Chain A
């Protein structure tokens, strides 16, 4: 997107009737939302005992992510601030219950009733002050505090976010920690600008299973940023294992086989389809080529 929607208008105004319809009828968006929701559900690590759970979909919009939840057999409750988006959801006859509400005002749910929460592309809206009475930090605090309370012990919350910059990401992380959450950031395809997706995985109560590492084409570890509760300094430690190495320019004799192999590996890491390496890779062709 050329412009971030959060900079254009508050969500209840940006997602008016026309935009809501456009958003939901775009097959590309529907496809992306389905994939993101599936991945978020995967990261929720719900017990595989065949018992449906009761999940919360924060910023459910027109119900695209909710439909994925229903497909997996769970019941859900969706919250969104845009009446137009919710109306589209009603038209599509989604199976979950819908609430018109502002997550920055607190969720208003009883303690320990939710088995898991997902949010696809919604939490970053909290970081912008859309009204003079808004203070983003207070809104984030109200949101994370009420979310922590309503989750049952051992439940997780998975947010797919598009933070505008590092400061925004840190603001979100810090508020989550202060509310009592533990967890980490999972990044899929960290090397590709197009495919890169960030998921904030929050846990409350004891963590039984470990958090998955992000996806990557090759089996190298990818940049997974863990953070733990550090009460003294409130610091979030991030480590980046994959520093970009200096590229080797092709030498004067032309592109060497080594260079070609390295370039192909880079392309594979980005997630492109690359032909397999063989004895023919970088072999000197006949002069007619």
Chain B
């Protein structure tokens, strides 16, 4: 699972109001190279929750992203920033670990890179 997906996932348990972002417990993180496309990164930037991304990246061992969300000028001109964002979003894979709901503490295990988001009968 990559950070681009983690940034969109929220806990779906009935009654939970603050299920985003899920905390990452990283067991095994690997890096896989992906072709860099600046247009895609700019397109996705508008949808990202920046703080969640920075925290998530740090849990996966990548601390190069700036704390504050950069403004539009940086997006247009600064290619090194875009490359860092690309690396964080698309190239870091969480293979083994867990995602933890911030409100209930419920753990969603991650195996072979696939998070198990199936809810139990009483959580629906």
Asked whether, in the complex, the Cβ of B118 is within 8 Å of the Cβ of A102, the reply is yes
> Is B10 interfacial (CB-CB < 8 Å)?
yes
Write the A95-119 contact mask toward B (1 if CB under 8 angstroms, else 0): 1011111100111111011100000
Q: Which residue of A lies closest to B22 (CB)?
A: A108
* B12 adjacent to A105 (CB under 8 Å): yes
Counting CB contacts under 8 A, is A77 at the interface? yes
Chain B residue numbers with a CB within 8 Å of A100 are: 114-118
Q: Which of the residues A52, A81, A83, A105 comes within 8 Å of B39, measured between beta carbons?
A: A52
Q: How far is the CB of A46 from chain B (nearest CB, A)?
A: 12
Interface size on A, residues (CB 8 A): 33
Task: Please list 15 pairs of residues, one from A and one from B, whose beta carbons are closer than 8 Å in the complex, sorted by A's number.
Answer: A50-B39, A52-B39, A52-B40, A52-B43, A86-B114, A90-B114, A97-B4, A97-B113, A98-B113, A99-B1, A99-B117, A105-B118, A113-B7, A146-B12, A150-B8
Which residues of B in the span 1-26 have a Cβ within 8 Å of any Cβ on A? 1-2, 4-5, 7-12, 19-20
Using a CB–CB cutoff of 8 Å, the interface residues on chain B facing chain A are: 1-2, 4-5, 7-12, 19-20, 34, 37, 39-40, 43-44, 47, 49, 90, 112-119, 121, 124
* A window 75-97: CB within 8 A of B: 75, 77, 81, 83, 86-87, 90, 95, 97
Residue of B whose beta carbon sits closest to that of A50: B39
Residues of B within 8 A of A52 (CB): 37, 39-40, 43
Contact, CB under 8 Å: A99 / B5: yes
Give bound CA distance, A77 to B2, whole Å: 10
B47: contacting residue among A99, A107, A113, CB under 8 A: A113
User: Which A residues lie within 8 Å of B4 (CB)?
Assistant: 54, 75, 97
- Chain A contacts for B43, CB-based, 8 A: 51-53
Q: How far does the Cβ of B90 sit from chain A's closest Cβ, in whole Å?
A: 7
Whether A110 contacts B124 by the Cβ 8 Å rule is no
Residues in A neighbouring B34, C-beta threshold 8 A: 95
Q: Does A178 touch B at the CB level, under 8 Å?
A: no
Q: Name the A residues within 8 Å of B20 (CB-CB).
A: 110
> Whose C-beta in chain B lies nearest to the C-beta of A152?
B47
Distance A53 CA – B2 CA, assembled complex (angstroms): 16
Q: A54-B4, A97-B1, A100-B114 are in contact. Are A75 and B40 (CB under 8 A)?
A: yes
A152–B118 CA distance with the chains assembled, in angstroms: 24
Q: Inside 8 A of A142's CB, which chain B residues have their CB?
A: 124
Ranked 6 nearest A-B pairs via Cβ: A108-B12, A101-B117, A97-B5, A51-B39, A52-B40, A113-B8
* B-chain residues with CB within 8 Å of residue A87 when the two chains form the complex: 112
